[in-house]
Amino acid sequence: MLGLRGLAEELLDPRGASPLQPLHDVVQASVRLLSPEAREALLRCAVFGAPFDREAARAVLRGDATTQLRTLVESSLLCSTGVEDPRFSMYEPVRAWAATAAKDEPAILREARVLHATHFLARAEAPGKDAVAALERLLPELLLVERRLDAGEVQLPAVPDDAVRARLVVAVEPLLAFRGVAPDVDAWLTRAVVRAGRSDEVALAMRARLLSLAALVRQRQGDFATATALHLEAGGAALAVHDPTLLHELWLRWLVDRVVGGRYEEARAVGAALLDALGRGPAGRVLHATRLYLATTALLLGEDSDGAIATLRREALSLRALGEVRLATIGQANLAINLLYLGRVDDAEVAAAALQDDPRLDTHTRTSIVANRAAVLHERAFTADLAGDPGFVARAHEAYRAAIAGFVRVTARGYAALVRAHHAMLWLELGDAAQAELEAVEALHDQPDRLRSAFSHAELGSVQAVAGRFTDAHALLDQARALGDGLAAAEVCLELHASHVALRERQRAGTLTRELTQRAARTAKRHAATDRGPYSPRARIAARLVLRVSTALARESDRPPSPAPESWRESLVVGRDDAWVRVPDGKQIDLSTRRKLRVLLSALVAARVDHPGEPLSRPTLIAAVWPDERFVADAGRTRLHTVVLALRNLGLRDLLRSNPQGYFLDPAVPLLRAEL
């Protein structure tokens, strides 16, 4: 046997092939065992930036790709995961070897990069049935192609770089529409517009599409001025190439953006101009879609609602007859959600129930139907009673969960965040602040634009107020105001959440009056009754939060006081679990939601029972109220003084005594325990 010393010498001997031999030497040794064809295949595989499939390998490798991949996997130079549709990836030490070896084989690397770019561009331009999921998988490689274009590391034969950039961005347009404005796609799009959208190397028609796509991103970010300018520039490019079909498509997109952005007057002007441009030509998809969105605009402006609803139904049927299943379904979904915006909840429920889960629809559209249904059920649950109808609440929960899962599945993170925000408010309306916080915090990320981010911050502020964390609530409201600054659509919702937080804070401090709640309730009811638009459900939810505080106070003040037992007169009476206290003048103080005051009172009551007139020291009280905290210098005394002052201000000023040794309850006042 070697023994410890011999084993150590064997392991440290650089001449032996030991487990401690440097990895790059192991890679070199493995590569030397490969045939020239397999070695070249390994070098070509280094052009992939993420795990790749057999189809991509066949495009880049020369010869029998299946055999070459099997050889490289068996040599432990590539990793394979999956059985039916395996994906291959390169270990980092192998990639480091390839980076060095490529310097000796520049022609192979150059050709592999061209084949890589050509392959992934072609796949992006024809992603197949589930376009969003396919494009999501392709996105890392497409971004890699863009970086190589910037670095001059790849050049497609006879295709200018800016033209390649333009094709790449247009190819991922469905991903942008489904996923929302993700930072990587947004940064890519910005570069493409600067470098390709206004490049003479790019055809005008392509430039028009790029500029229109950039406008869509800016609109979702709340930058409506830039979006309008880009739409006009896109329209100008389409006019310059005398392509009326492209121009009409761009105008239709502009019309949809105006509706989604809440700019209904502009939407009506764009729609009227588009109808005029279409003239008396044949009724096609653009004409029917234009009429559909104009009817939506009329509904949101409160004009001829019955006529607009009839138009929505008619145009949806016409689009379905043309085989435009997705547009027809969007029209029917618009009908349901706009009825909800108008406050016609019963009609919205009927329209939402009529939406068909057509298997020909893409996953995103089908998930949007579920999300619309969830919003309608949520509103329906609270139509008659602030407590919420249990049957509708259960169905709303189920629909919200299904919609979130569906959007996550197709990587539509922006849409998933929107649904989470609504689900958080459902939890909050049901009084479950803990679940509401979980959803609201998650919803704060990936909001698709500044306006909806403002809503989410304000809604989380209301959640924090219900939980009693008012510093956090006010900080979130400040962020919401900053995000919503200059956005008229944010004003009502933010005002209502600010009112709700203020009422909760006064309620906690014991300074909430009936006059204040009645004034806030009148404002909330007015907004709930008059606000009509894409964000009215969120405003109505915020209004209900305000009304819930008002209703609770009214019920409390209207409840006839129970006659106090004779023994309670002139006594300090403490309720069960120290949840309330009654002072000798008859005032009863609720401490059920004020943990620190309740703990302080409990300690003082126990001391009063065991040792009347003897003070509890300040360190003892600090340890009782904040058992897990360690304070520096006088910070603990300061916080204790604040809590004592709050208890005194609620009605115990003459009963809570102090001296240099600490605090105690007046021993001259009888102390009783209530069993109620």
Taking every pair of Cα atoms in the chain, the longest distance, rounded to a whole number of angstroms, is: 103
**pLDDT confidence of residue 231:** 76
- Predicted confidence (pLDDT) at residue 535 exceeds the cutoff of 90: no
**pLDDT confidence of residue 450:** 81
Stretch (H or E) spanning 580: strand 580-582
- Of 105-109, 484-488, 499-503, the one with minimum mean pLDDT is 484-488
- Predicted confidence (pLDDT) at residue 67 exceeds the cutoff of 90: yes
Q: What count of other Cβ atoms lies within 10 Å of the Cβ of residue 604?
A: 27
Task: Write the CB contacts of 229 (distance below 8 Å, at least 6 apart in sequence).
Answer: none
**pLDDT confidence of residue 519:** 83
CB 453 within 8 A of CB 479: no
Give the whole-angstrom CA distance, residue 346 versus residue 351: 9
Q: Which residue has the tokens 């915006």?
A: 341
Give the whole-angstrom CA distance, residue 366 versus residue 675: 57
**pLDDT confidence of residue 8:** 42
* Nearest CA-CA partner of 400 in 421, 386, 384: 421
CB 403 within 8 A of CB 426: no
Report the pLDDT averaged over residues 385-389.
Answer: 64
- Of 219-223, 225-229, 477-481, the one with minimum mean pLDDT is 219-223
Report the pLDDT averaged over residues 85-107.
Answer: 88
Residues of the chain above pLDDT 70, percent: 83
CB 319 within 8 A of CB 311: no
- Of 164-168, 380-384, 477-481, the one with minimum mean pLDDT is 380-384
**pLDDT confidence of residue 453:** 87
Q: Half-sphere exposure of residue 121, counting CA atoms within 13 Å on the CB side?
A: 20
Q: Dihedrals φ, ψ of 230, to 5°?
A: -70, -40
Give the whole-angstrom CA distance, residue 308 versus residue 315: 10
Look at strands 87-90 and 572-574 and give their pairing.
Answer: unpaired
- Model confidence at 168, pLDDT cuts 50, 70, 90, reads confident
**pLDDT confidence of residue 17:** 46
Report the pLDDT averaged over residues 68-85.
Answer: 89
- Predicted confidence (pLDDT) at residue 569 exceeds the cutoff of 80: no
- Of 141-145, 172-176, 294-298, 540-544, the one with minimum mean pLDDT is 172-176
Whole-prediction pTM value? 0.56
- Of 50-64, 235-249, 438-452, 493-507, the one with minimum mean pLDDT is 235-249
Task: Compute CA distances 330 → 93, 212, 323, 353, 365, whole Å.
Answer: 50, 21, 13, 14, 8
**pLDDT confidence of residue 28:** 79
**pLDDT confidence of residue 565:** 67
**pLDDT confidence of residue 55:** 93
- Model confidence at 193, pLDDT cuts 50, 70, 90, reads low
- Predicted confidence (pLDDT) at residue 625 exceeds the cutoff of 50: yes
**pLDDT confidence of residue 313:** 84
Total residues belonging to the chain:
676
**pLDDT confidence of residue 59:** 94
Report the pLDDT averaged over residues 573-598.
Answer: 80
**pLDDT confidence of residue 18:** 44
For residue 597 the two structure tokens come to 């005051």
* Nearest CA-CA partner of 460 in 545, 553, 551: 545
Residue 560: DSSP 8-state? P
- Predicted confidence (pLDDT) at residue 272 exceeds the cutoff of 70: yes
Helix, strand, or coil (residue 426): helix
**pLDDT confidence of residue 270:** 82
**pLDDT confidence of residue 197:** 66
- Predicted confidence (pLDDT) at residue 262 exceeds the cutoff of 70: no
CB 501 within 8 A of CB 470: yes
Residue 126: DSSP 8-state? S
- Of 106-110, 411-415, 459-463, the one with minimum mean pLDDT is 411-415
Task: Compute CA distances 192 → 124, 155, 170, 651, whole Å.
Answer: 16, 17, 10, 67
Q: What is the pLDDT of residues 366-380, one digit of tens each?
A: 777 888 888 888 887
Question: Chain-wide mean pLDDT for the chain?
Answer: 80
**pLDDT confidence of residue 560:** 43
Tell me the DSSP string of 363-423: HHHHHHHHHHHHHHHHHHHTSS-TT--HHHHHHHHHHHHHHHHHHHHTT-HHHHHHHHHHH
User: 319: burial class by Cβ within 10 Å (0-12, 13-18, 19+)?
Assistant: buried
Q: What is the pLDDT of residues 630-675, one digit of tens each?
A: 777 677 888 888 888 888 888 888 899 999 899 999 999 988 887 5
- Predicted confidence (pLDDT) at residue 267 exceeds the cutoff of 80: yes
CB 68 within 8 A of CB 1: no
- Model confidence at 525, pLDDT cuts 50, 70, 90, reads confident
Give the whole-angstrom CA distance, residue 140 versus residue 24: 27
CB 407 within 8 A of CB 413: yes
Give the whole-angstrom CA distance, residue 447 versus residue 452: 6
Of residues 4 and 225, more confidence is placed in 225
Stretch (H or E) spanning 428: helix 413-429
Q: What stretches of 444-490 show up as alpha helix (H) in DSSP?
A: 450-466, 470-484
599-603 long-range contacts, CB within 8 A, separation 24+? 599/624, 599/625, 600/624, 600/625, 600/643, 600/644, 600/647, 601/574, 601/647, 602/578
Report the pLDDT averaged over residues 255-283.
Answer: 75
Tell me the DSSP string of 61-119: S-S-HHHHHHHHHHTTSEEEE-SSS-EEEE-HHHHHHHHHHGGG-HHHHHHHHHHHHHH
Q: What is the pLDDT of residues 289-326, one digit of tens each?
A: 888 888 888 877 767 677 888 888 888 888 888 888 77
Q: Which residues, listed in sequence order, are joined to residue 673 by a DSSP beta bridge?
A: 574
Give the whole-angstrom CA distance, residue 67 versus residue 655: 89
* Nearest CA-CA partner of 168 in 210, 109, 199, 111: 210
CB 208 within 8 A of CB 197: no
**pLDDT confidence of residue 57:** 94
For residue 148 the two structure tokens come to 């190589």
Phi-psi region of 66 (alpha: psi -120 to 50; beta: other; left: phi over 0): alpha
- Model confidence at 181, pLDDT cuts 50, 70, 90, reads very low
